[in-house]
């Protein structure tokens, strides 16, 4: 599905990713943990195509193609979805309208028929129900005045509407109450399938109780310094990152 080899990326001349490699197979869920400022969001934005970041060397192959050649929207059309750590407000842009435009842009790019408003509303309603989400958010402007938790739920709603093949969740669990956390996990789990992969960035092992990852990676100083299975997350919870960073430095 996704193959990252020795990726170096910088912003404003400052190197953030310093030789990162990662292999993700179809159907796999990978968790990425790591201290603040280690480059987790940078990785997700580089994968989503944020142009401010300059890739200085390394390769990223997605479904056999060079991902780095694609514009952000092409990546979205190819099935990459990123749930933002800090979703962006779009004042005056109706949330439902935005999601419909988004879904239709992707469908159109794939040569699928676009959904009219009626059918789209039907679809949204079924998804909302599954997520036990309140319809009121649909009528508001995208993320405008949403609480932190509402924004994250809204990201998940978009994700399950768009049914991506590679979902990148950047700290979607941060700032969520217990119920929201369950809802988000439910959403993610409902999408799990043999042809879909997920990259879940989190600071809390708690999330991984709900979303069982196949692999856990530790990102520090712009590189993956340790990979393991779920038990690695438990170990980190107990010991923090210090010991790994020391090992990596040694």
Partner 1 sequence: MDAVEQQLAELAKTGYEAGFVSNIESETVPPGLDESVIRYISARKSEPEFMLEWRLGAYQKWLQMEEPDWAHLKYTKIDYQAISYFSAPKSAADAPKSLDEVDPELLRVYEKLGIPLEEQKMLAGVAVDAVFDSVSVATTFRKQLAEAGVIFCSISEAMREHPELIKKYLGTVVPQTDNYFAALNAAVFTDGTFVYIPENTRCPMELSTYFRINERNTGQFERTLIIADKGSYVSYLEGCTAPQRDENQLHAAVVELIALEDAYIKYSTVQNWYPGDENGKGGIYNFVTKRGVCAGDRSRISWTQVETGSSITWKYPSCVLKGDDSIGEFYSVAVTRGAQQADTGTKMFHIGKNTTSTIVSKGISADRGQNAYRGLVRMNKGAENARNHTQCDSLLIGDKCGAHTFPYIEVANPTAKVEHEATTSKIGEDQLFYCRQRGLSEEDAVSMIVNGFCKEVFNELPMEFAVEARKLLAISLEGAVG
Part of the chain binding ligand ATP (CB under 6 A), chosen from 37-45, 60-68, 112-120, 179-187: 37-45
Part of the chain binding partner 1 (CB under 8 A), chosen from 24-32, 46-54, 124-132, 218-226: 46-54
Binding mask 97-126 for partner 1 (x = CB under 8 A): -x--xxx-xx--x-----------------
Helices then strands, each counted (H, E), the chain = 10, 12
- The CA distance from 71 to 33, in Å, is 27
Query: How wide is the angle at C-alpha 40 spanned by C-alphas 37 and 46, nearest 5°?
Result: 120
Out of 56, 57, 71, 119, the only residue in the binding site for partner 1 (CB under 8 A) is 71
CA distances from 50 to 16, 68, 123, 204, 249 (A): 14, 10, 30, 26, 30
Q: Which is nearer to Mg ion, 40 or 153 (CB)?
A: 40
Q: Which is nearer to ligand ATP, 54 or 179 (CB)?
A: 54
DSSP-assigned states of every residue in 28-67:
-EEEEE--TTSSHHHHHHHHHT-TTSEEEEEEEEETTEEG
Rounded to a whole number of angstroms, the CA Rg of the chain reads 18
Q: In this structure, are residues 9 and 54 in contact, taking their beta carbons and an 8 Å threshold?
A: yes
Q: Which is nearer to partner 1, 92 or 113 (CB)?
A: 92
- The CA distance from 144 to 155, in Å, is 13
Show Cβ contacts of residue 90 under 8 Å, excluding neighbours closer than 6 positions.
Answer: 98, 141, 142, 143, 144
Out of 20, 22, 33, 39, the only residue in the binding site for ligand ATP (CB under 6 A) is 39
Establish if 16 lies at the interface with ligand ATP (CB under 6 A): yes
- Residue 109 touches which member of partner 1, ligand ATP, Mg ion, none, C-beta under 5-8 Å by kind: partner 1
Establish if 13 lies at the interface with ligand ATP (CB under 6 A): no
Establish if 223 lies at the interface with ligand ATP (CB under 6 A): no
Question: Burial letters for 198-210: b for 16+ Cβ neighbours within 10 Å, e otherwise?
Answer: bbbbbeebebbee
Q: Which is nearer to partner 1, 45 or 196 (CB)?
A: 45
Q: Which is nearer to ligand ATP, 54 or 132 (CB)?
A: 54
Establish if 25 lies at the interface with ligand ATP (CB under 6 A): no
Residues near ligand ATP (CB under 6 A): 11-12, 14, 16, 34, 36-42, 85
Residues near partner 1 (CB under 8 A): 48-52, 71-73, 75-77, 81-82, 84, 87-94, 98, 101-103, 105-106, 109, 141-142, 158, 162
């Amino acid at each position: 599905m996704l193959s990252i080899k020795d990726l170096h990326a910088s912003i404003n001349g400052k190197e953030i990713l310093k030789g990162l490699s990662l292999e993700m197979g179809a159907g796999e869920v990978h968790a990425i943990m790591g201290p603040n400022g280690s480059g987790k969001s940078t990785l997700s934005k580089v994968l989503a195509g944020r142009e401010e970041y300059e890739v200085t060397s390394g390769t990223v192959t997605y479904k056999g193609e060079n991902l780095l050649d694609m514009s952000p929207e092409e990546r979205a059309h190819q099935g990459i979805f990123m749930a933002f750590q800090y979703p962006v407000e779009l004042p005056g842009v109706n949330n439902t309208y935005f999601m419909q435009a988004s879904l239709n842009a992707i469908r159109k790019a794939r040569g699928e028929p676009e959904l009219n408003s009626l059918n789209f509303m039907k679809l949204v309603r079924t998804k909302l129900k599954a997520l036990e989400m309140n319809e009121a958010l649909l009528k508001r402007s995208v993320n405008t005045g949403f609480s932190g938790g509402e924004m994250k739920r809204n990201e998940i709603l978009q994700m399950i509407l768009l049914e991506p093949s590679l979902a990148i969740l950047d700290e979607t669990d941060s700032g969520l109450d217990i119920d929201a956390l369950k809802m988000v996990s439910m959403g993610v789990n409902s999408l799990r399938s043999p042809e879909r992969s997920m990259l879940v960035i989190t600071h809390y092992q708690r999330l991984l109780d709900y979303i069982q990852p196949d692999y856990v990676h530790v990102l520090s100083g712009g590189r993956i310094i340790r990979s393991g299975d779920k038990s690695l997350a438990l170990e980190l919870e107990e010991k923090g990152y210090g010991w790994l960073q020391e090992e990596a430095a040694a």
